Structures are given as structure tokens and as C-alpha cells.
Chain A
Amino acid sequence: MTGANKEYKILLIEDDEIMLKVTERILLKEGFKVIVAQNGKEALQKVEEKDYDMVITDLMMPYANGFEIISKIKGDSYGANIPIIIVSSLGNEDSIMEGFRLGVDDFLKKPIMAGELLIRVKRLLARKL
């Protein structure tokens, strides 16, 4: 199982330092490769590099918010079919709807369950194949 995840690169965008580090460790332990971005600016750079199989993103960040990043990803032929999960403390209907309208696959509200995140990540990646 660990071996199977190895080839997947996950772009993790999160501005809370702890959350970023901890989620990264969780994903690494599962055998994923993780590319991290701590704010909207870094995220847009990483998106430009087009080297990821999945995106997990926060919504509220400095420089550019999550929606903007998602629309950049979806607006590009590389990213159009990449699965995206939003992990955010914003949980109002507006934000969730906006996310799905942009083509996001899943929306998790903080606090999250690590197990749930992993299951969703794996499911989406499996679907992608």
C-alpha cells in the first residue's frame, strides 16, 4: 500500500504552520510525496510548475485566497482533472457552494479527522486512475 502511494504527489496549501507540518507528516507517512505551500503566492508558483496529482488547499490565506488558486488550477489543461479537496475553517453555505461550483471534489471543515482526510484522498486518487 505504501508503495502504491509513492508515485502520487500532493500539493498541500495551508497557511497555519502547525496544520501544514502535521498534515504533511501524515501524508508522508502514508507514502505520498508532498509539495507544500504556505501562502497564496507560493501556491500559485507551485501550481505553475504543474507537478502534482492532487491538491489539498485552505481557503483563507495571504496573497491569494483558495478560490483563486482553485480557479487557476482548473483553468489550465494540466489541472482541469486534478482532484481538489478544500480543508478550511470557513464552513458557511456560500463558501461550500462556491467551492463546488469551481469544481472542487470535497470540502472538509476544520477540525478534521486525519483518517477521514486520508480515506478521501485515496478514494479520489483511485477514481482518477
Chain B
Amino acid sequence: MLLLEAFFAPFFRRYFYYFDSYPLVIQIAIFLTVVAIVSTVIAYASILYRRYRGSRHDKKIARINPLLDEILTESIILNDDLAEGKPVEEIPLPLEKFDRPRFKTPFARQAIIERLIHYRKNFSGDIGLLLRKLYIELGLEKESFGKLKSFKWDRKVKSLIELTAMDMSIADVNILPLTNSKNRELRAEARHAYIKLSKNEPFKFFDVVSEPLLMWDQLELFKIITTTKDISIPNFARWVTYSSNKSVVAFCLKLIVHYNQQEAVPSIIKLLDNKDHYLRSNAINALGKLKADEAEDKLVQIYSSQPLDCQLEILKAIGRMGTGKNLTFLRQEFLRSSDFDIRKNAAKSIISHKQHSEEMLGELLDTATAENKLILKHCMNPLIKY
């Protein structure tokens, strides 16, 4: 209002002779009209400017990338020394090809980094190592490390992504504080980097992490853990037993299954007494996938006291174990239950017993109700996956 009085009012007075005599509503409306017109013009200008900037960026990239591709293909991908099996460390790189002003600008150096990452996404092995060597010899890691010092979290994230993509090791002092950052993205990226790059104890943060691991981060973690080559895989049972973080336990169960860590079975069985049904159903699922038939009797025993999700997991697990010991139990559940999902999963598990259950299956098909027969046929059809 003060602004209106001090600046705009005299302005309007000059052009609208009667401005002062207008009702307040009209005065405000006139003021806002001016604001709207100015904002619209600014919006047009920004659209044009952004488009100009964007297309200039695209053009620059379009100029640099073909040159880059040519050099990379010639001297890295089709490197003769590499083909002859020379160790990567001893292969000389034609750095002089990068020794021209076009490749020296910060923009170009960033473009080179991005391109190298893209190549490494497609090629591992010796080519990957040679790309990394080029990254180091061109001093590009300095650019990446520089970003880590930035105050902006997204710059830090970028730095971490580049460094992990290039397998550069980062000092623990630099990265550990970031694993507890308040910013979710930064925290997650720092953890990924830590797992991938830390030589000491890559899984240390499992011990301390208090907030849940998001599903999205689990995907990324899972991928990094399972694809990083020289990572030493611990026995994940440790966290299944000791971690109080639900999501860490659930995540470790998935890793146990992936690595088929049979030695973890006893600690998973202990989890069956856990109060949380989410954890129990995850544990049952893991036991089934590990074919841990020593748990089978216990599963049948606790079955009746479980909520639906755990019951379904038990039925699936028995099918996966496929011992045949509990076929009658499956049959009984199939015939007894009024719940569709229970019947379907029981049927699936009976069928997955293959020759063990052939006889029972024949008998069931002959005697079952129309609906149950349909369920059996559904589960037997190889075209239907689920």
C-alpha cells in the first residue's frame, strides 16, 4: 500500500487525471493491471530467452559430440593396444587430440564427462577401464571433485554420480557426513557412492541408519551392491538379527535371497516370531525362495494364527520348497478356504510340486467344484504367469 501511495499513485495521477478520486477497488485494479501486463511481458521474454539458451546449448553439444565420438571410437574402443591384450595401465592415450581450445572450456569438459559416462554405461571391461583412464588423464576428476565442494546440494549429487560412474574413490571424511544429510537425494546418492567406493566397510551405514530406506533407494542400492565387482559381500543375517530398522531388515532379506545365503536361514526363522506382519511375510517369502525346508513344519504350524498376507506367503513358500511333505495341508486349504487368493495360491503350490502331486491333482480335478476346477486349470496353464 505504501508503495502504491509513494510511487504508483503519482504515476497514475499523471495519466489518469481522476485517479485519486477513484474508489480503492479501482485503484488496486489499475495497479494490478499494470503488474499483470509487466509480468506477461517478462514471461514472454523468459520464454524467448530460455529457448535461445536451450538451443544454443543443443547446438554446442551437437558440435562437440561427433568430434568426441570420433576420438573415443578411434582411440579407445578400437584401440590397437587394447586388442592386442596390453594391460590398460600401459596403454598410452592420445591426449594431444584433446589439446585444442574447443575442448578446454568448462562447458566442453562437462560434455566430455557426460559422454564418457554414457559410454561406460554401455561398455565395461577393458574399454570401461580405458575410458576411466582417459577421464583421469584429462584431469576431469578435478571438475567432479570440485562440485563436491559446492554449497548446492544438486551440484554435490552430480559430483557423486560422476565419481561413482567413474569408480573414483572418495575419502571417507568427505563422504560420510553426506550420508546423513538432511536432503534426501543427497543422502541417498552419498550412500550409493559410499557402498560402491568405500574400501573399508561399505555396509557400515546399515548399522546406523534410523529412517526408512525408501523403495526407490533400495532399487539403486540393490543394483549397486549386486553389480559392483570387487565388493565383499557380508553375511546379511547380521542385520536381520540386529537391525531395528524395518526397511533395512526387509532389504537384507532380498539380498540374502539374491546371494542365496543359506547360512542366514536360522536368523530368518527367528524373524517368524516378530510382531510385525510385514516383516514376517517378507521372512516367509525369503525362506521359500531359499528353499529352506527346515522351516517348513514351523510355517505350517504358525499358519492358522497369521494374517492373510502371511498365509499367502506360507502357501507360496511350501510350493517353492516342493518337498511334498505338506501336500495334504495344501489340499485341505484349497478345499476348505473361502478366500479366493488362498485357494489360488494353494492350487499353484500343489501344481508346482509336479510329479509329487500328479495323483492328487487328478483327484482334485475330478471332484472339485466348478470354480475350484477353474482355479486349477488357470494355475496349470503355462500361458498364464500369475
Do A and B touch each other in the complex, judged by CB within 8 A?
yes
Interface of A toward B, CB cutoff 8 Å: 16, 18-19, 21-22, 25-26, 29, 110-116
Task: Identify B125's interface contact among A16, A18, A21, A115, CB under 8 A.
Answer: A115
Shortest Cβ distance from B375 into chain A, in angstroms? 23
Given contacts A21-B69, A29-B83, A113-B124, 19 further A-B pairs with CB under 8 A are A16-B122, A18-B69, A18-B122, A19-B122, A21-B73, A22-B77, A22-B119, A25-B73, A29-B78, A111-B122, A111-B128, A112-B122, A112-B124, A113-B123, A113-B125, A113-B127, A113-B128, A114-B125, A114-B127
Q: Which residue from chain B places its CB closest to the CB of A87 in the assembled complex?
A: B122
B9 to chain A, nearest CB (A): 60
Partner of B77, one of A26, A111, A112, A116: A26
27 examples of A-B residue contacts, CB within 8 angstroms? A16-B122, A18-B119, A18-B122, A19-B122, A21-B69, A21-B73, A22-B73, A22-B119, A22-B123, A25-B73, A25-B77, A26-B78, A29-B78, A29-B83, A110-B122, A111-B120, A111-B121, A111-B122, A111-B123, A111-B124, A112-B124, A112-B125, A113-B124, A113-B126, A114-B126, A115-B125, A116-B125
A17: nearest residue on chain B (CB-CB)? Answer: B69
Q: Within 8 Å CB of B83, what residues of A?
A: 29
Per the bound structure, the CA–CA distance linking A113 and B120 in Å amounts to 10
In the complex the two chains form, what is the Cα distance from A117 to B77 in whole Å? 13
Tell me the count of chain B residues lying within 8 A, CB to CB, of chain A: 16
Nearest-neighbour CB distance to chain B for A38, whole angstroms, equals: 15
Per the bound structure, the CA–CA distance linking A68 and B96 in Å amounts to: 46
Task: Verify A110–B69 contact, CB threshold 8 A.
Answer: no
The answer to whether B53 has its CB under 8 Å from any CB of chain A is no
Asked whether any CB of chain A lies closer than 8 Å to the CB of B118, the reply is yes
Chain B residues with CB below 8 A from A18, complex form: 69, 118-119, 122
Chain B residues with CB below 8 A from A110, complex form: 121-122
Q: How far is the CB of A14 from chain B (nearest CB, A)?
A: 9
Contact: B78 with A25, CB < 8 Å? Answer: yes
Q: Which residue of A has the minimal Cβ distance to B68?
A: A18
Please give the distance in Å from A25's CB to the nearest CB on chain B: 5
List the 8 closest A-B pairs by CB distance, nearest first. A113-B125, A111-B124, A19-B122, A111-B123, A22-B77, A114-B127, A25-B73, A111-B122
Q: Which residue of the partner chain B has the closest CB to A23? A: B122
Expressed in whole angstroms, the Cα–Cα distance for A18 and B73 within the complex equals: 10
Q: Is the CB of A115 within 8 A of B126?
A: yes
- Please state if A112 and B123 are interface contacts (CB–CB under 8 Å): yes
Q: How far is the CA of A18 from the CA of B123 in the complex (A)?
A: 11
- A114–B123 touching, CB < 8 Å: yes
* CB nearest neighbor in B for A110: B122
Nearest residue (CB) in B for A101 is B382
Closest to A111 in B: B124
Q: What B residues does A116 contact at CB under 8 A?
A: 125
Whether A114 lies near B77 (C-beta < 8 A) is yes
* A115-B78 Cα distance, complex, nearest whole Å: 11
Q: Which residues of chain A are within 8 angstroms of B78 by Cβ–Cβ distance? A: 25-26, 29
CA distance A79 to B128 in the complex (A): 34
Residues in chain A near residue B122, CB distance under 8 A: 16, 18-19, 22, 110-112
CA distance A93 to B124 in the complex (A): 21
CA distance A25 to B79 in the complex (A): 12
C-alpha gap A25/B83 in the complex (Å): 13
State the Cβ distance, B77 to closest chain A Cβ, in Å.
5
Q: State A16–B78 Cα separation when bound (angstroms).
A: 19
Contact with A along B129-159 (1 / 0, CB 8 A): 0000000000000000000000000000000
